[in-house]
Amino acid sequence: MVQLDSGEPQAAKLLLQRALALDLHVFGKDHLRTARSMAGLAGALLETGEIDAARRYGEEALAVRQKLLGSHHPDVGGSLADQGWLWHADGDSATARSLLERAVTIMQSTVGPRHFLTGRCQYKLAVVLRGCKDDLAAAQLLEGAVVALEEALGPDHRWTIESVRTLRELRDQKPSDR
C-alpha cells in the first residue's frame, strides 16, 4: 500500500487509482483486494479534500467487506472507522459518532481491547466526542487508546504520541473551556 503520510497526497491518489483499476480488472468488484484498494483510494481522496469521492469509495469498500466477511469482522470495523472519520471531516458529528461507536465495538470484540486497531478507533471516536463537548467520554476512550497503542506499537509511534498529546490537552483544559 502507498503511504498517505508521505507528504504527496496527489501522487498517492494517482498510484491508488491505478492500483484500483488493476484490481477491478483482475479480481472484479466483489473481492477483498479490490475493497482494500477502494479504501486506500478513499483515504487519499480525503487527504486531497475530495470528501464526496472519498465517501463513495469508502462506502463501496464497506459494502464489499460486509458482503464477503459479514458485519462483525475487523476489516468491516476498519471501514466503519474510515467512514466515521470522513463524516467527521465533513462536519457531521452525529453520523461520525455512530459509525465510530460501531467500529470500536467490533474491534474490541474481535481483535481485543489492547490491539492497535482498537486503540486507533478509540482515538478517532474520542476526537469526535471532544468536538461534541463530551470530554469525560473522550478522556476515557483516550486512556484506553493510549494503553492499547503503547502496548502494541510502543511509546514512540506517531499514533501513540498523537493520542498522548490529545489526552494531555484535554486534561489541561480549564473547566470553563470544556
Query: How many domains does the chain divide into?
Result: 1
Question: pTM for this structure?
Answer: 0.90
In a domain, 94, yes or no: no
Is residue 12 one of the residues assigned to a domain? yes
Closest of 96, 87, 175, 88 to residue 139, by C-alpha: 175
Q: Please indicate, yes or no, if residue 55 is contained in any of the structural domains.
A: yes
**Which cell numbers in the block locate residue 48?**
486531497
User: In this structure, which amino acid lies at residue 55?
Assistant: R
Tell me if 126 is assigned to some domain: no
Dump the DSSP string for 59-78: HHHHHHHHHHH-SSSHHHHH
Is 15 part of a structural domain of the chain? yes
Residue 47 lies in a domain: yes
Q: Does any domain span residue 75?
A: no
Q: Do the beta carbons of residue 37 and residue 77 sit within 8 Å?
A: no
- Residue 99 falls within a domain, yes or no? no
Query: Phi and psi (nearest 5°) for 49?
Result: 85, 10
- Model confidence over 93-136: pLDDT tens digits? 999 999 999 999 999 999 999 999 999 999 999 999 999 999 99
Residues 22-70: pLDDT tens digits? 999 999 999 999 999 999 999 999 999 999 999 999 999 999 999 999 9
Domain of residue 58 covers 1-69
